[in-house]
Amino acid sequence: MATHLLRCSRNRFCCLGRIQSFISKINEGPLPYSTAAKHRSSGDDCHGDDGADEPTRSVTNIEQLELRASRLGEQVQSLNEKYKKALSDSDMVRRRTQKFVEDAKLFGIQSFCRDLVEVADLLELVSRELRGEGEQAGLRGEAQREAQDTVEALCRGLVRVQERLEAAFSKHGLEKMLPVGGRYDPHQHQIVCHVAAPGVEPGAVAVVKQEGYRLHGRTVRHARVGIAMATQAP
């Protein structure tokens, strides 16, 4: 019995020693679980730092958006300028094409007109020759009056053909030049001779050797002319 009491007392003293040791550790520093609390407080502090950086990030995002908007505005302006240039080029091409079509309509018969004026020259030449023969036949006597009448009828027919041809020329914009008395123009006239022409200003057209023609103001055939030269005083 005594032995049992001694064992119980010993156990109590051991428990008291352990309690005193635990209390002394508490007094010396925080418990082990205080480290977790410290970590939590440290984490809370980091979370607080993230909240402080949030305005800076917002400002950075706004600057990036403004820079991107500025670049997009420059691209839009560049595309707008390219569009205006392409529109101007297409309009210029359209006007040139329209002018080309109009010129083709007006001057497409230019080579044909050159051939027709040769026919007009031939008709005029034949008409003059026939008139000359008719006048000579009239001087020979009454016996050849019938032949003269025939020649005159032929001349009248040629004159009507010539007038009809000139009317067709005028209808299509082909007109004969009237250079006599005017100044020499290298774009319309071709000098073939110089003649003494009293009363005509030197350098002006005095005589026409071959008629010239214009098609809608454009020279189809140059007029072959003689230019008046200065005459010496007697």
pTM for the model:
0.52
Percent of the chain with pLDDT over 70: 68
pLDDT, tens only, 103-158: 777 777 777 888 888 888 888 888 777 777 656 555 455 556 676 777 777 878 88
Q: What band does 224 get if pLDDT is binned at 50, 70 and 90?
A: very high
pLDDT, tens only, 182-208: 999 999 999 999 998 888 888 899 999
CB count in 10 Å sphere of residue 197: 19
pLDDT, tens only, 71-94: 898 889 889 999 888 888 888 888
Q: What are phi and psi of 17, to 5 degrees?
A: -65, -40
Are 184 and 150 a contacting pair, CB within 8 Å?
A: no
What's the rounded Cα separation, in Å, for the pair 157 and 131?
12
> Which residue is associated with the tokens 């051939």?
115
CB count in 10 Å sphere of residue 223: 23
**Residue 107 CA from chain centroid, whole number:** 24
CB count in 10 Å sphere of residue 215: 21
